[in-house]
Amino acid sequence: MSLDFDKRFEPAYGQPVAVADSVVRLTANNPSAFTFHGTNSYIIGSETLAILDPGPEDDAHLEALVRAIAGRPVSHIFVSHTHRDHSPLASRLKALTGAVTVAEGPHRSARPLRIGEIAPLDASSDTDFVPDLVVGDGQVVEGDRWSMRAVLTPGHAANHAAFALEGTGILFSADHVMAWSTSIVAPPDGAMSDYMASLEKLIGRDDRIYLPGHGGPVVSPQKFVRGLKAHRKIRERAILERLVAGDCSIPDIVRAIYRDTDPRLHGAAGLSVLAHLEDLVGRGKALSNEAPAIDSVYSPAS
Ligand SMILES: [Zn+2]
């Protein structure tokens, strides 16, 4: 199964872009290797509004949001997950609008840190955000002629939630599924077993289109999510093959299977391999001399 990434995207910083009936996208000017052209905030509704993912702590983006809100009341601020490119502006936007913040919960990692382990994505975590309203899986929040259903999708982050705009076929997929790239799944912040279960959960839904946290829409979501799943399964098989071939450390495995990747990206690749190994050890398909960490010694299960 081939996975076609769509990198076409016009960020139009500061300008509201209508992407669906009563849904406007506003992209923050925070481009990077991880955020693509920047973070997408979405404004939902026409009279009393909801904002999804206010974005990074950025004055210009806050001003652009306030301009786009144009004096209308904002009842809710939805936050997909607590990474610094998505949640920090919630605090100032809440102070300006009086809106209720809604999320799965405050920041947490997918598992406790191992002794001597550092959280590589720690700098990207927003540990200040605490939602006013905590939503469970399937919970619906009603607004002014819109309602949003929480679809909990841990993996990229432990508290990651997608939100379905009921009755429209739109799923705000945030960083779980994006058209331009695979999402980063790196322990201890994220977990591969959660991520794969969250892909499976979306395969079981019938959303028409995804509006992600970065880049443009995913227009054939079912096919695309199946492709993402296949892509991870191929990577998993390659890692198991390296274990059988005698590689026992993450750097060895990375050197073998990321041969064509810029060595500067090998650190990130190592975290992705660790995510797979943690999952494989958990499923009894690989062995580790200790709780799986970046410097553990790995072997095939049989
Ligand atoms: Zn993001």
Give tens-digit pLDDT for 245-278.
Answer: 999 999 999 999 998 888 888 888 999 999 999 9
Domain of residue 157, CATH code? 3.60.15.10
72 and 205 assigned to the same domain: yes
Q: How far apart are CA 183 and CA 122, in angstroms?
A: 17
Of the candidates 204, 228, 252, which is a domain's last residue?
228
Average pLDDT (42-51) is: 98
- Residue 266, pLDDT score: 85
What's this model's pTM, rounded to 2 decimal places?
Answer: 0.95
In the reported structure, the alpha carbon of residue 207 is separated from the centroid of ligand 1 by a whole-number distance in angstroms of 21
pLDDT in tens, 212-239: 999 999 999 999 999 999 999 999 999 9
Rounded (10°) angle between helices 221-244 and 192-203: 150
Of 228, 258, 288, the residue that ends a domain is 228
Same domain, 130 and 189: yes
- Rounded distance from Cα 53 to ligand 1 centre (Å): 9
Report how far Cα 185 is from the mean position of its chain's Cα atoms.
9
Planar angle of CA 296, 183, 151, nearest 5 degrees:
110
Q: In what order do the strands lie in the sheet with 17-20?
A: 17-20, 23-27, 40-44, 49-52, 74-78, 100-103, 133-134
Segment 84-126, tens digit of pLDDT: 999 999 999 999 999 999 999 999 999 887 766 666 555 689 9
CATH code for the domain in which residue 279 is found? 1.10.10.10
Domain of residue 224 covers: 17-228
For the residues 44-69, what does the mean pLDDT come to?
Answer: 98
Q: How many domains does the chain have?
A: 2
> 122 CA distance to ligand 1 centroid (A)?
14
Q: What is the pLDDT of residue 156?
A: 96
- Residue 251 and residue 216 share a domain: no
Question: Which spans in the chain are helix H?
Answer: 59-69, 90-97, 192-203, 221-244, 250-257, 266-282
185 & 267 share domain? no
Residues 194 and 271 in one domain: no
Q: Which helix (H) or strand (E) holds 50?
A: strand 49-52
Say how many Å lie between the CA of residue 82 and the centre of ligand 1. Answer: 9
- Supply the mean pLDDT for the chain: 94
CA–centroid distance, residue 35 to ligand 1 (Å): 6
Residues 106 and 128 in one domain: yes
**219 shares a domain with 102:** yes
Boundary (domain end) residue, out of 201, 228, 255: 228
Q: How far is CA 280 from CA 90, 182, 240, 244, 276, in A?
A: 37, 20, 9, 13, 6
